[in-house]
Structure 1
């Protein structure tokens, strides 16, 4: 019963954190939709302005960290669809067969120009729209292109000028819970190693695998924050801080992947009944602490000396565990600990050679 209550509380807490992180996106989408509709209808006198708010919402919600690129892709796809649809239908007319042909042609042209999935979707949907209108019907090519331009540009203006996110606050809200979750599961793994509890280590691994989607969302949020810091005049003073965090995110990505593999090997170690020297669980736990400390140092604008020291401590404990004697899986755990410590030290700002030296990788572990 307690486990059910704890799981329910955790689910509610995680849902609240997601809403708190993404609520600004909902506000941006709503504002961009209203503004783009008003511009297309009242200023451009477009009798069918629906695509303008649709384009605005698509730009806001579908590419949180790449709004400018998303707008360019949106316009490129619409223009390709217009060119294929309008020109070909003038020759072969409208109808189901013609529509299929035009859609295939529009997407093929998008592929030839190395368009992304978004470009192909817009090219195909625009071709469908034009292909289903009879020659006597209204000309939708120009209005749709104008709506795409209005929607995309309005979305960029809202995201970067009118209602930009606070990049530091958003990174803190998104990355903090993710790092805490990851560090907590490393502590759970360390406890499982101390107690010889393979089921406990497996639960930690399952939780890390389930949290993969959250970690990807965090990467997306960091990209969005960096975009705002670079392009929004209101937040350029935070550019250096966010640049450091984006650099760190690349190395932490590798650290997370290898740490998950380390936990998986810890399960194998316990299942096989291999020896677990006391320094091994201490090393795993201290590495998790180093992740938490690194995040806090970044957001506070401090040099992450304490986080580095804790990561180096974890590497030293892993080497001592190796010296005391380990089985096959235990040796792999220590090797992966050296890798994750090195990636964490590089995330803190050290170059690769120095990070590898302090992680003890040159020692052949």
Structure 2
């Protein structure tokens, strides 16, 4: 009896070991993901650190401001802005800081300091920034600068114009750091965004092709869920394109990258559209399996070929070679889809065929072909398959 009671109360060793392995795997996954993020943003961290220290040095040692705290703040805030919008953010920062300092100095000089005075200063600083047509970023800078003026060093004998010059120094130093001293590699920025977008798309389409062949709705649904979560990767890709274009335009050391970057820029809108259309394809594939519609053998082949075309596109763009392999594989997918349509498919299957053609056109256009020509190539592939 004692032995039986003890056996029911003690967890089995296998269960404890399984839970330990699952925790270890989660920890390893999280550690790897965070390591990748650190590596991806290490350049930004170095830029911000160098700019902050350099802005303080210029304002304190060259301009002789004894307390130039606005200079490193302006530099760090500029470089902490979204990459791709730093020039715009720098201008907004300088205008916002100027407004906040002017309003803060003028109002605090008259009404003094305190809780309600800070409320008045912040309100008036935001109103002033609205009047000059500012963005939310400018509102934030104006309000933050007004608060700093009212709390850290309120005016005693007049308006301190040195604070505005500190902000100007910080913004200019940040631009010098990002364009001349430590410019990011625009191709690396874009490549890091294109990789997960096309990789997710390629894996999801390959898995969906396998799920269609096995009539496994759960596997296709899992691929659909991955594509839904990849919506953030589309936004990341669009931001990375802006960042690469900005760096290649402003940084002389990166001007030689503009030719290859142009191909990425031209391809990005088609890659984004193909990724979104892939979600529609996989959703209809799930319905096709669940409704027990016919699945000709060439249809899973077409979807897998489409995934391989996406994978080839990434490798060929990154290598800077003519992406002929991606074009050929996309057209092969179109031919296989046309064969499946001729063999007979249901309503959802017809939609899958149509999406294969649409995604193939986008992927071909992403290789540098004009969209009208890409559509012609797809139509010719359908005609060849039918004959």
CA distance in 1, matches of 2:25, 2:139: 45
2:306 is matched with: 287
| Contact kept? 1:94, 1:133, Cα under 8 Å | no
For normalisation by structure 1, the TM-score amounts to 0.88
| Contact kept? 1:51, 1:144, Cα under 8 Å | yes
Taking a change above 3 Å as real, the CA distance of residues 149 and 191 of structure 1, as seen in their structure-2 partners, is same
| Contact kept? 1:279, 1:321, Cα under 8 Å | yes
C-alpha displacement of 1:133? 6.9
Aligned partner of 2:358 among 311, 322, 339: 339
Taking a change above 3 Å as real, the CA distance of residues 262 and 139 of structure 1, as seen in their structure-2 partners, is farther
Taking a change above 3 Å as real, the CA distance of residues 19 and 131 of structure 1, as seen in their structure-2 partners, is closer
1:125 is matched with: 144
CA distance in 1, matches of 2:329, 2:26: 31
C-alpha displacement of 1:121? 0.6
CA RMSD after TM alignment: 2.8
CA distance in 1, matches of 2:75, 2:172: 8
Structure 1 residue 319 and structure 2 residue 355: aligned? no
1:168-206: per-residue Cα shift (whole Å, max 9, x none)? Answer: 234334422442233112211211111111111121122
Question: Within 5 A, what are the aligned runs for 1:1-365?
Answer: 10-90=29-109, 92-132=111-151, 137=156, 141-360=160-379
CA distance in 2, matches of 1:291, 1:4: 34
CA distance in 2, matches of 1:135, 1:25: 33
Taking a change above 3 Å as real, the CA distance of residues 136 and 271 of structure 1, as seen in their structure-2 partners, is same
Taking a change above 3 Å as real, the CA distance of residues 68 and 90 of structure 1, as seen in their structure-2 partners, is same
Give ranges in structure 2 of 5+ residues lacking alignment. 1-17, 383-387
Taking a change above 3 Å as real, the CA distance of residues 112 and 135 of structure 1, as seen in their structure-2 partners, is closer
Q: How many residues align?
A: 363
Q: Which structure is larger by alpha-carbon Rg, 1 or 2?
A: 2
CA distance in 2, matches of 1:362, 1:141: 71
Taking a change above 3 Å as real, the CA distance of residues 285 and 11 of structure 1, as seen in their structure-2 partners, is farther
Taking a change above 3 Å as real, the CA distance of residues 329 and 113 of structure 1, as seen in their structure-2 partners, is farther
1:143-190: per-residue Cα shift (whole Å, max 9, x none)? Answer: 332222222221211111111122223433442244223311221121
CA distance in 2, matches of 1:28, 1:140: 32
CA distance in 1, matches of 2:154, 2:30: 54
CA distance in 2, matches of 1:361, 1:117: 50
| Contact kept? 1:32, 1:158, Cα under 8 Å | yes
CA distance in 1, matches of 2:32, 2:287: 32
CA distance in 2, matches of 1:272, 1:162: 60
For normalisation by structure 2, the TM-score amounts to 0.83
C-alpha displacement of 1:256? 1.2
Question: Matched residue of 1:48: which SS?
Answer: coil
The answer to which of 93-102 and 334-343 deviates more is: 93-102
2:6 is matched with: none
CA distance in 2, matches of 1:211, 1:5: 25
C-alpha displacement of 1:286? 1.3
CA distance in 2, matches of 1:127, 1:263: 52
1:65-121: per-residue Cα shift (whole Å, max 9, x none)? Answer: 222111111112112323433444455554433432332333233334432221111
| Contact kept? 1:164, 1:232, Cα under 8 Å | yes
CA distance in 1, matches of 2:153, 2:113: 6
C-alpha displacement of 1:279? 2.1
C-alpha displacement of 1:4? 7.5
C-alpha displacement of 1:223? 2.4
The answer to which of 224-233 and 89-98 deviates more is: 89-98
Taking a change above 3 Å as real, the CA distance of residues 197 and 60 of structure 1, as seen in their structure-2 partners, is same
Taking a change above 3 Å as real, the CA distance of residues 13 and 193 of structure 1, as seen in their structure-2 partners, is farther
